[in-house]
Structure 1
Amino acid sequence: MTRKNRQGELDEELPFEVNFIEQAEYIDTESFAELTIDHPDEDGILRKLMGGGAKLLTGPRGCGKSTLMLKAYHKMLNSEPMQVLPVYVNFKLALKVEPLYSRGSNAPFWFKGWLTLKVIEAMLESLNEINNVKLPTDLPKKEAIDKLLFKIESNSIDGAEIEKFSIQSLQRLIDSIIAINCFNRCVLLIDDAAHAFSEKQQEDFFDFFRAVKSKSISPKAAVYPGITSHSPSFQVGHDAEPINVWVKPVGDEYEAFMLELAKRRFTGTQIELCDKNEDDMSFLAYCAFGIPRAFLGMLRAIYNAPDTYFNTDGSLAKAKVLSLSRSGKEMSHGVYSSLEAKLPSLKSYVENGEKIYRVLLDNIKEFNAGKDSVEQTVQFGIRAPLDPALEKVISFYQYAGLMMPVGEFPRGENGVFLVYEMHIGDIVTDNAIVGRRTKSVSFFLDVLRARKHQLWPRTYSAKLLEVARLDNSDFKITLPQCQLCGTERPSPEARFCPNCGARLKSSSAYENLVDQDISVLDISAAMQARIKRESQIRKVRDILTDTSREQLMKIKYIKKARTVKIVSAAEEYVS
């Protein structure tokens, strides 16, 4: 039996804990095919990712964008005969370059140079995987590329060093590789694109994306709904086709998709989870709200402490299932709350958004009161057009995976309504699905499986804001504070604090994030305490700069799976 310490954290890393790694990019190549399952629309999505043209893969955090990109990459890489050069590059840490935007006017030059070098770095890795590939004589060395990337990220580079790494030179290099190997084209898979919360940085990324596209280069980028800022010259639909990969949490196909994910991850663990608990697992799948990462978090909890969750007959304890159903929505609310640190200028939108969310949840609960299970809803409609402040708030909830857009529905003279589905974990936790008897998994499933009607509570912007006791003056842009006295600066151009007279320093979102204590990360309090007790790691930057993972791996009971979880939590926080 695995021992537990006083704080409830498992001492030993369990044999199959690596099965429950949630981010696809951290799964070993050998295990990737065994642990991942087919997206309900996988064939069509992969055809678009492997084909010509520019595409934007959209969906909230954890919905499976990286998995699909890596599947497309491996499929192209292993095809016989090989006709396409696949390049997979992850821009998750693009915010590392964001401080350049607060230090000088030439930031777009450095950032686009960084993007070009990251693509070359990834291309070198791809070429290393291909047998008998012919290489051009002017192919850069990996060591040189890594050195230049480090220099840009540390702001210690001379412009002349990267002038030769322009978008045009990248295109020529790729065209040369395509020509000498008789490939049809290069498919450039850019994961975690537009991850940076700097609006200007996002716009520069889309300028790069649009410029690199050619007859021989087909860029595909994974982006988020709601928060992505496209450049003025970039038009979604014209410059790139959007592909929504967020799986709708409804129907037999959805249940089968999630149950297969659970079976894959528990294979070999000697825990019989799905066969005896199919309804419970379907219920938890709905509470994950179409986000496999949230569902995997639930599965990990069961695997780590089976004695806590199982009855003696092998069934799951119902009280524990209902408690576990909250974890999916808590993960998404954590993503939403993190926007305060990542977008400090829009702090008021994030804070007031909580009040609006509460009102919408109450509207659904009131609508469902007294109705039979087959008539209840998890959706709401807001009459178009939306108030601009409300539209921004809802976009944040889409990014976090708390609201899923359903579509536009006309209601005669009452106008057109924009319909959204609220996170089912919140609906369940808040008892917004109303029953006449004690809450049970079977009752919730009756409601969730019966969602075929077109009835939902309706509201409009002014009424919603009124009930939330908000008006447009409550939504304001907050400027950075003085580093000395904390007074908000009077204008973006201000150079001195109006209160204490101190010179105002340029504000960097990335520097502010990495300077946070590790307590902000999505890891257990016991894990945080152990890290601080047994290492010199205190801040988020300490984890990110420990590139060899030596400090983490020296800590007792922290091995591969837990190191991956800690590092991914740090990277998620700053991205």
Structure 2
Amino acid sequence: MRFDDEFIFRTEDISPQELVDIFVATKTDRDNLNYIKSKSPLLLEGSRGTGKTMLLRVAEKEMDENFNSSRELAVFINFSKAIFVDAYKDIVYFRNWMFSKILFALKRKLEKKGILLSATGILGNYFGFIDKEENILLKLDDFIYALENSWSNKTFDISEKASEIFGVDLKRIGIIRDVDYFKALIEDICETCKIKRIVMLFDEACHNFIPLQQREFFTMFRDLRCPFISCKAAVYPGITSYGTFQTFHDAMVKKVERDITSSDYLEKMREIVKNQVGEDTYSIFVKNGENFNSLIYAASGNPRLLLKSLFMASEDLKSLKIGNVNSTIKNFYRTNIWNEHTKLSDIYKGHKKLIDWGRWFVENKVLQETINKNEKRKSEEKYQQTIFFTIHRDAPAVVKQSIRILEYSGIISLHTEGTKVRTEVFDRYQVNFGVVLASETKSTPVSRYREIISNLSIKLYSEYGINSPSYENIDELNSVETEVDIKHVLENLLHEPIDKLDITTFQCDTLKNVGFTTLQDILSAKEEDLQRAYGIGPKKARKIYNIAFNATIEYISG
């Protein structure tokens, strides 16, 4: 239990000790945890903040606790720094980076389990040189660091750097460039250490990979399949390039979602909040039950949206007044969430018209028809309400592409795939409930939310057929360019001033005083360099670096 009354919005900031106290499992979560721990390859799909990283971390912890009896080893691998690897110079850079990250994580996990490879000589054999086990790990770390900083070095030469670090030609180190060598190493480790299989948990696998990297990752994901390796990855709906990877044949896909109509939805979402604050703070929320509940339902099952909106509405967890709750829902779901969606067009410029059209379609067609339908039925005392709409399976490709991008942003979510409407087949979608409440003009969110949620019916929806008249101006949408010059975007972003970071004015000023004025200044520095600033110790330096890094990642990811 935490008592410092400061929400943790990202799983990356949760310590292993806090994980058990904070995690709240629904039945779907438990099912997904079982799939994560199973043998089959798995893609865990959900928009930002739905809890994919949390599930991977909890699965790892549960497998760790049972390792001695099951001999199944979970290895968590974070790929969040993928955007910093300059894959455009040569895709082999990225392949080397992926295998190096996996090896580094695997080696550390084996050590934590008390399994040392030094006596076996396995690693040395596969690296093509004789060296102590701990030296190989240090060299891997140096190599990963060099690759993650390749974006800032125009003259970076991977072969030269590898020779400098490892003392041998890169071509002799097949383990970090060839999947067959890698699988052979894993097999040898498993047989030598009596490990049944290794479950690789890839986090941020596609959130910020550029399409070129995504295709390379999924090729590796598919090729790693063998009796000794089970791959699982957190992925996002929408902008993902699978290449020759076929989601139906090459992996199971399970969605991370919380159904707002489930009987335990309110209880579970309240518990998420309760596990992060002290009793006094939580009692403030409980005493203002309707205000609290309206924020919970507005979040549409997304824990991060709930925590962020609750923090805003409660004036930093001090109160929960009805006026603040109404204005927060209006602003957060009418402005903030849409701004995040629109920001995607700055990164995926080839998608700009699709992104803009998708927003126009939802705001001007779907939301308007939804609100009109609800108001009409209410006035006729028919009571049934909706937040659903359907798109015909054979609707124009550009329409479906726009819808997928809206899923990525969390504006909408797929509710039912392939539902029959008369003789035609449609996909049923659900609009984020907060977005619906924020669009209401005749009533406030707190006074309206229960009317809708109590009478919500999946049988009531707006229907958009193959050639719906609502698909206006789709002929003007250009073909999508999937490739992105992420290096150019990254260079522009890194010149942004640190004033935009979520740090105090004092911290900002003191950092500027010692020369840290841009994001690049912070990300290019080591944490001890940041400590030159007055009042910045080791703990604050780590937090400031993470804030700068996450700000970069979130911008690139949209």
Query: TM-score, with normalisation over the residues of structure 1?
Result: 0.81
Q: CA-to-partner distance for each residue in 1:70-129, whole Å, 9 max, x for gaps?
A: 0011111122435111110011121212x332x3xxx23221111100101111221232
Aligned match of 1:110 in 82, 93, 111? 93
Which residue number in structure 2 is paired with residue 261 of structure 1? 272
Which residue number in structure 2 is paired with residue 568 of structure 1? 550
Q: Check 1:526–1:456 CA distance in 2 against 1; reply closer, same or farther (3 A cut).
A: farther
Displacement after TM superposition at 1:398 (Å): 0.4
Which residue number in structure 1 is paired with residue 309 of structure 2? 298
CA distance in 2, matches of 1:531, 1:146: 31
Which residue number in structure 1 is paired with residue 153 of structure 2? none
Q: Check 1:453–1:398 CA distance in 2 against 1; reply closer, same or farther (3 A cut).
A: closer
CA distance in 2, matches of 1:222, 1:354: 26
Aligned match of 1:443 in 448, 454, 479? 448
Displacement after TM superposition at 1:209 (Å): 0.6
Q: Check 1:441–1:463 CA distance in 2 against 1; reply closer, same or farther (3 A cut).
A: same
Partner-residue secondary structure (3-state), 1:51: coil
Amino acid at match of 1:305: D
Which residue number in structure 2 is paired with residue 353 of structure 1? 358
Partner-residue secondary structure (3-state), 1:53: coil
Displacement after TM superposition at 1:549 (Å): 7.0
Amino acid at match of 1:149: I
Q: CA RMSD in A?
A: 3.1
Which residue number in structure 2 is paired with residue 131 of structure 1? 114
Q: Check 1:86–1:57 CA distance in 2 against 1; reply closer, same or farther (3 A cut).
A: same
Displacement after TM superposition at 1:61 (Å): 0.9
Displacement after TM superposition at 1:266 (Å): 1.1
Displacement after TM superposition at 1:475 (Å): 3.1
Aligned match of 2:373 in 364, 367, 371? 367
Unaligned runs of 5+ in 2: 124-132, 151-155, 163-168
Displacement after TM superposition at 1:170 (Å): 2.2
Displacement after TM superposition at 1:134 (Å): 5.5
Q: Check 1:261–1:331 CA distance in 2 against 1; reply closer, same or farther (3 A cut).
A: farther
Between 1:385-394 and 1:162-171, the stretch displaced more is: 162-171
Q: Tell me, yes or no, if the aligned pair for 1:521 and 1:569 is still in contact at 8 Å.
A: no
Q: CA-to-partner distance for each residue in 1:149-203, whole Å, 9 max, x for gaps?
A: 2333323320732642232232222222221221210000011112344222211
Aligned match of 1:472 in 472, 475, 481? 475
Q: Tell me, yes or no, if the aligned pair for 2:196 and 2:228 is still in contact at 8 Å.
A: yes
Q: Tell me, yes or no, if the aligned pair for 1:295 and 1:328 is still in contact at 8 Å.
A: no
Residue 64 of structure 2 corresponds to residue 77 of structure 1: yes
Displacement after TM superposition at 1:512 (Å): 4.0
Which residue number in structure 1 is paired with residue 29 of structure 2? 42
Amino acid at match of 2:397: P
Q: Check 1:182–1:248 CA distance in 2 against 1; reply closer, same or farther (3 A cut).
A: same
Higher helix residue share = 2
CA distance in 2, matches of 1:65, 1:553: 36
Displacement after TM superposition at 1:399 (Å): 0.5
CA distance in 2, matches of 1:334, 1:535: 33
Q: Tell me, yes or no, if the aligned pair for 1:171 and 1:212 is still in contact at 8 Å.
A: yes
CA distance in 2, matches of 1:518, 1:409: 49
Between 1:381-390 and 1:524-533, the stretch displaced more is: 524-533
Q: Check 1:509–1:341 CA distance in 2 against 1; reply closer, same or farther (3 A cut).
A: farther
Q: Check 1:147–1:445 CA distance in 2 against 1; reply closer, same or farther (3 A cut).
A: same
Q: Check 1:425–1:445 CA distance in 2 against 1; reply closer, same or farther (3 A cut).
A: same
CA distance in 1, matches of 2:546, 2:289: 30
Aligned match of 2:322 in 311, 318, 333? 318
CA distance in 2, matches of 1:449, 1:513: 48
CA distance in 2, matches of 1:512, 1:226: 25
Partner-residue secondary structure (3-state), 1:376: coil
Which residue number in structure 1 is paired with residue 166 of structure 2? none
Q: CA-to-partner distance for each residue in 1:2-24, whole Å, 9 max, x for gaps?
A: xxxxxxxxxxxx9725x512111
CA distance in 2, matches of 1:526, 1:363: 45
Unaligned runs of 5+ in 1: 1-13, 311-315, 481-491, 493-505
Which residue number in structure 2 is paired with residue 412 of structure 1? 422
Q: Tell me, yes or no, if the aligned pair for 2:313 and 2:325 is still in contact at 8 Å.
A: no
Amino acid at match of 1:178: C
CA distance in 2, matches of 1:45, 1:170: 28
- Aligned positions, number: 517
User: Which residues in structure 2 correspond to 1:424-503 (within 5 Å)?
Assistant: 424-431=433-440, 438-439=443-444, 441-460=446-465, 462-463=467-468, 467=472, 470-477=473-480
Partner-residue secondary structure (3-state), 2:253: strand
Aligned match of 2:84 in 96, 104, 118? 96
Between 1:153-162 and 1:421-430, the stretch displaced more is: 153-162
Q: Check 1:440–1:241 CA distance in 2 against 1; reply closer, same or farther (3 A cut).
A: closer
